[in-house]
Structure 1
Amino acid sequence: MDKNTYYYETVKNMAVEKVLNQYCSDSDPSRPALKKLLEDLLDWFMLSERQIYLLKNENDKGNGFYDRKLGTPMGNLDISVPRTRTGDFRPHILPEPYKRVDESYTDLLMSLVVNGYSESSLLNTLKSLNLPYSDDELNKIKDDLKSELDLFKQRELPESVFALLIDAYHCEIKDGSKVKKAACYIILGVDMEGKKDIFGLYTFFGKENRADWNKVFQDLINRGLKRVLVVVSDDFPGIIETVKAVYPYADHQLCFVHLQRNIRKYMTKADAAEFNKELDKIKFASSFDEAVQKFYDLCSKFKSKYSRYMNILMEKAEHYMAFIKYPESLRKHVYTTNSVESINSLVEKIRIRSGGYFNSVEVLEINIYLQRENLRRTKWKKAVPMINAHIYEIQQIFQLRYFNQTQNS
């Protein structure tokens, strides 16, 4: 390695490491996710650049992509660089070979992920890099991603799915001159082959409420989702009645993990420990009826001390034990909303690093959409092995459940 190359690599590594350390430590589990998001964003940005180039150069045509590795201290960024037939196009967003990569370049990438796609900060960063594009062209690059988000939210859904895992992410969003409380309803679907995807995301200002959940489910139905085997949710106000109304033949599992957390909240430490110990045993019941009965018996044991709370739990026993209806190796996939909460936790870190709130609803939803794109290319690329291994049993349950039943229309 010659002196200039060594100097370039050293400066580049220092810059990238400095910016990354500003947002996450070496041990932060979100560090690999940020790496993947940078790759996705570079791919998207370069493709938008080529579109602008082809509009200006009508005699040239797109000619696929070539793979390139952009080395960083956290590992190589694997990117797909778009090319044209003449070979005259090169994305300006990429650093020139052996050109010094300073904080401005890495700040640009991290601002796309962390700074919430603030229009002013993004455009100012692009201009500071002296990219040869007008304001209109820079806005077009930004608008391309917004269009992708709109198409994602409107796309057709499968008619039948194995599971819906639903949760609401609570945050603050800037609306005009004020920062308001909001809830973003995230719907994670598992199809009949065991593959995961976000089926929808819906943001409403104010507190979580039944009316908004009705709008969410109505949109899912309008986009083609007619039959669901199991819905997994927390015990939101009115959610049991809403799920029953829109998917009357679906099992509705209330999050078992949240149940155990609430037990620790509403009972003394000693009682909660005893209750949850017995609750863990019920998870391995041989049948749904056995599980419900054991849950009733457990609640009855503590009813004299926690009468009102135990009555509430007993009323919802069938919803807390619905996962027992499925093969034992599948139960961990349908008894908790943790899969959705893991998405929420990544977005929450972005909110904190963005100053405590999102600049707009669009900013929040673009961040979630990018998390989805990242997951689809990594963890969600293939079906969940354990679910895929039980596809035949799932289909049998599905046929028995929906055979000759009235479909949503």
Structure 2
Amino acid sequence: MKEMGLEGILDEISKVDTQEGLSFITALLLNELMKKEREIRLRESIDNKANGFYERQLACFLGSLGLSVPRDRKGEFRPSILPDRWEKADDSFQDFVLNLVLQSYSPGKIKALLQSMKLPYSAEQIEEIKEELYNKAKELRTRELPENLFCLFIDAYHTSMKDEEVGRVKKAVIYVAIGIDLEGRKSLMGYYIYWGSESREDWLEILNDLIKRGLKRVMLIVSDDFSGLSSAIEALFPNTDHQLCLIHMQRNLKRNMSKGDVKAFHEELQIIKRINDFDKAVERFEELCRKFEKKYPAYIKSLIAKKERYFQYLKYPEGVRKHVYTTNIVENINSRLELVRTNTGGYFQSMRTAEVAIYVTLSRIEKTKWRNPMLKILTKTDPVFS
């Protein structure tokens, strides 16, 4: 097959039903390592050239990894990192590949690891590969955005991350923004990493960055009930509807009401969710809340104050409602990041590590689940864009 860049490799991987997380990252990195080794080898051989790739399935405890093995024109090159033909990759080999990028080893540890594996890569060459992946992640974070979006999903993922400047693990929050354009296509709008917990200042910075990169108008923003986000949206996107995640509200019932009351509330809420009229749904929801007002005064007061934001999705065509009443689309990203965090020692080893994890996670999803648009939603002649 013809030689591919990183995007081509991701596209090929997306066609194979591989295990999420470790197996995907391992296959991606193996391909990058082998291609880089050929590049390094050909620098020393003026009369030799690259000659495409051949496909190989590498069996290991993670499953069967689909690899694109680089060839040279003379037929002399064979990647040193690749196990012999018909041999499986052992556990230490898998640890080696994953740790090189996600564990952010120091140059000394990389050198020791390379020596133990008897592989010819230098620490500098490994850093060159890591830098390439990191640059791809930065491009994803800074690319120009469309002027108009139908919907923007925003969520905050709380995690632990090593601050390399102080040398200790700290609390951090990763914000991810996913957009649906007017053609129904989903894509990453941006990701942002901050130390500590979410704040109104963070939300303002994030929304301002989206605007700076080209975003002008959004019909609907979907989020959880984060402190400070609503006021930030009102300040920067005053004409945008703000939908609070209905699923999160339903989950929170269990923390604030008795089991029997949760059941009664939930049954009535299912009926309200199917009402096609926004105003009627809001009215019925307030009536439902009032039934429990004496028993849970503070909690019910908070629900009533936000009643309209739970049913903004009813203002939109029936075909898209199921896509925009919850933040599940972003939570799916968070669950994949959680898998990477768990498999790399319980915390991200650096901010760069987290950015690479976001890049490989989003690249995979954009090439698979988000490949086809869900439907044509709006046109630029709709009133919101006038």
- Establish whether residue 400 from structure 1 lines up as the match of residue 386 from structure 2: no
Cα distance change on mapping 1:63 and 1:200 into 2, 3 Å? farther
Identify if the C-alpha distance between structure 1 residues 30 and 348 changes in structure 2 by more than 3 Å, giving closer, same or farther. Answer: farther
Aligned residue number for residue 349 of structure 1: 339
Q: Distance in 2 between matches of 1:140 and 1:69?
A: 26
Q: What letter is aligned with 1:395?
A: L
Q: CA deviation at 1:169?
A: 0.8
Q: What is the rounded CA distance, in whole Å, between the counterparts of 1:372 and 1:65 in structure 2?
A: 25
**CA separation of 1:182/1:65 partners in 2, compared to 1, >3 Å: closer, same or farther?**
same
Find 1:93's aligned residue among 60, 64, 81. 81
How far has the Cα of 1:285 moved from its partner?
Answer: 0.7
* SS at 2:55 equivalent: strand
| 1:256 and 2:225 are equivalent in the alignment | no
* Letter matched to residue 399 of structure 1: T
Unaligned runs of 5+ in 1: 1-28, 405-409
Q: Which amino acid aligns with 1:116?
A: Q
Find the aligned partners of 2:359 and 2:61 in 1 and give their Cα distance.
26
Match 2:289 to one of 284, 287, 299? 299
Shift of 1:143: 1.6
More helix by share: 1
- Give the share of equivalent positions with the same residue, in percent: 43
CA distance in 2, matches of 1:252, 1:82: 50
| 3-state SS in 2 of match to 1:275 | helix
1:140 is aligned to 2:123: no
Moved more, 30-39 or 165-174: 30-39
Paired AA for residue 400 in structure 1: D
The equivalent position to 1:193 in structure 2, one of 178, 183, 186, is 183
Shift of residue 255, structure 1, vs aligned partner: 0.5
The superposition leaves residues 97-116 of structure 1 with CA deviations (integer Å, 9 ceiling, x where unpaired) of: 24564333222234357x53
CA distance in 1, matches of 2:134, 2:141: 11
- The alignment partner of 1:168 has SS state of strand
Matched, 1:361 2:344: no
Q: 2:212 aligns with which of 207, 214, 222?
A: 222
How do 1:312-327 and structure 2 match up within 5 A? 312-327=302-317
Q: RMSD across aligned C-alpha pairs, in angstroms?
A: 2.5
Query: Would the aligned equivalents of 1:146 and 1:366 in 2 still touch at CA under 8 Å?
Result: yes
1:102-144 deviations in Å (ceiling 9; x for gaps): 333222234357x534446555433422222333222212222
Q: 2:97 aligned with 1:109, yes or no?
A: yes
CA displacement, residues 211-261 of structure 1 (integer Å, 9 cap, x when unaligned) = 011111111111122222211100000111111222222221100011011
Q: Aligned letter for 1:316?
A: K
1:9-408 to 2 correspondences below 5 Å: 31-72=19-60, 75-98=63-86, 101-111=89-99, 116-119=103-106, 124-175=112-163, 176-383=166-373, 387-388=374-375, 391=376, 394-396=377-379, 399-404=381-386
Change (3 A) 1:297 1:155: same
Superposed displacement of residue 353, structure 1: 3.3
1:252-274 C-alpha deviation (Å, 9 max, x unpaired): 11000110111111112211211
Deviates more, 1:261-270 or 1:128-137: 128-137
Of 38-47 and 312-321, more deviation after overlay is shown by: 38-47
Q: Secondary structure at the match of 1:395?
A: coil
Q: Aligned equivalents of 2:315 and 2:304: distance in 1? A: 18
**Residues 193, 40 of structure 1: CA spacing in aligned structure 2 closer, same or farther, 3 A cutoff?**
farther
Query: How far apart, CA to CA, are the structure 1 residues paired with 2:106 and 2:369?
Result: 31
Q: Which residue does the alignment assign to 2:14?
A: none
AA of the residue aligned to 2:187: D
Instruction: Note if contact 1:162-1:230 (Cα within 8 Å) is conserved in structure 2.
Output: yes
- Say whether the 8 Å CA contact 1:48–1:144 is kept in structure 2: no
Partner of 2:4: none
| 3-state SS, counterpart of residue 399 of structure 1 | coil
Q: Is the 8 A contact 1:161 1:190 kept in 2?
A: yes
1:212 alignment partner AA: D
- C-alpha displacement of 1:88: 4.1
The 1:44–1:249 alpha-carbon spacing in structure 2 relative to 1, beyond 3 Å, is farther
**CA distance in structure 2 between the aligned counterparts of 1:330 and 1:271, rounded to whole angstroms:** 31
Report deviation, 1:355: 2.9
CA contact 1:170–1:183 (8 Å) conserved in 2: yes
TM-score (norm 2): 0.86
| In structure 2, distance between residues paired with 1:339 and 1:80 | 31
Is the 8 Å Cα contact of residues 177 and 189 (structure 2) preserved in structure 1?
A: yes
For residue 63 of structure 1, report the CA deviation from its aligned partner.
4.4
Aligned CA distance change for structure 1 residues 286 and 229 (closer, same or farther; 3 Å) = same
Aligned CA distance change for structure 1 residues 357 and 249 (closer, same or farther; 3 Å) = same
